[in-house]
Homo-oligomer: A and B are copies of this chain.
Amino acid sequence: MSLWYDETFRDNTRLGLRVTRTLYSGKSDYQKVEIFETEAFGRVLAIDGVFMTSERDEFLYHEMLVHPAMTTAKQAKRVLVIGGGDGGTVREVLRHKSADSVLMIEIDQQVVEACKEHLPTIGSAWTDPRLEVRFADGIDYVKTSNDPPFDVILIDGTDPIGPGEVLFDIDFYRGCKRMLAPHGVLALQSETPLLFEEAFFETQRKLKTLFEHVHPYFGPVPIYASGYWSWTWASDAANPIDADASRVEQISAGTRYYNSDIHRSAFALPNYVREKL
C-alpha cells in the first residue's frame, strides 16, 4: 500500500505525492532530511517537509538556475555555488566547457551524503576534478573569504523560512557581490510571485539596492508551490538576454528544457509583475 506525503504551503494549499518507499530519513544538525520514491515524480528529496527536488522535474529547476547566468557572464570560468546539496546545480555548471573551477559551499554534509547515495542521477558530477565541495556556512564564506572573485555565483537555497532564511538576507547578497567579479553574474531562486508574492518582490527590492541590473525570470517546476517558479539574475555589467551564442549552443545540445528561445522567453514579465517592480 502506498501513502501520501503532503507539503503544505502557508497552511492553505497542499501538494501531495503518493510514496511507494522511504529511502532515507534523518535529522541533521540543521534540518530534517527525507528521500523517498514516488509514483509520479520518481525519487524526491524533502527538507523540513518541503519538496526540494525530484528525479522527474529537477531538470527544469537546475537548468534554469544555472544556464541563464553561465551563458551571459562575460566569462564563466570560476563559479561559486551556495547550497545545492543534491548536486544538480553543480552538475549543470560542470556541463559548461568554460567552467574550470567550481566551488560548492554547502552547510549540511548529511544532505550531500544522503543524495549521493539515493539520488545518483541528480548528483552525477561529484567526481569531476574541477569541483571542490566545502561543508561550511555560505554566509560566513562570502563575508570573510579572501579567495579571488567569481565570474558566476549561484544561490541554490531552501525557502526563506527556517535555516534557509539567511539566504534571502541583504547582508548575504552584499557578501555575494563582494565575491563577484565586476563583470560577474549572480543568479538565485526567488520563490513564486503567484503564491509567495512578498518573498518574490522583497528579493527584487533588496537586489536592486546592490546591482545595476536585476531581472526576474520564470519557468515551471511542478513540485514547487504553484508549479511556477522564479529565479533572479543580477549583475552590474551584462544584459540577461544577450547570451553567448556558442555557450548556449554547446549547453542546449544536452538540456531538456533550456535553449535560446526559452532563455529569452523566461525574462518576459507578466503585467502583474511589471506593475510592481
The residues of B that contact A182 with a CB separation of less than 8 Å are none
Copies in the complex: 2
Residue A15 at the chain B interface, CB threshold 8 Å: yes
Within 8 Å by CB of A262, from B4, B6, B11, B270, lies B270
A195 to B57, CA, bound (A): 10
Within 8 Å by CB of A271, from B18, B218, B257, lies B257
A270 to B10, CA, bound (A): 31
Within 8 Å by CB of A270, from B12, B259, B272, lies B259
Which residues of A, 14-66, contact B by the 8 Å Cβ criterion?
Answer: 14-18, 38-41, 57
Residue A222 at the chain B interface, CB threshold 8 Å: yes
Within 8 Å by CB of A13, from B11, B40, B226, lies B40
Residue A233 at the chain B interface, CB threshold 8 Å: no
Within 8 Å by CB of A195, from B6, B222, B257, B268, lies B222
The residues of B that contact A272 with a CB separation of less than 8 Å are 256-257
Question: What are the nearest 8 A-B pairs in CB distance?
Answer: A227-B227, A265-B265, A220-B228, A265-B268, A12-B39, A261-B268, A222-B226, A14-B16
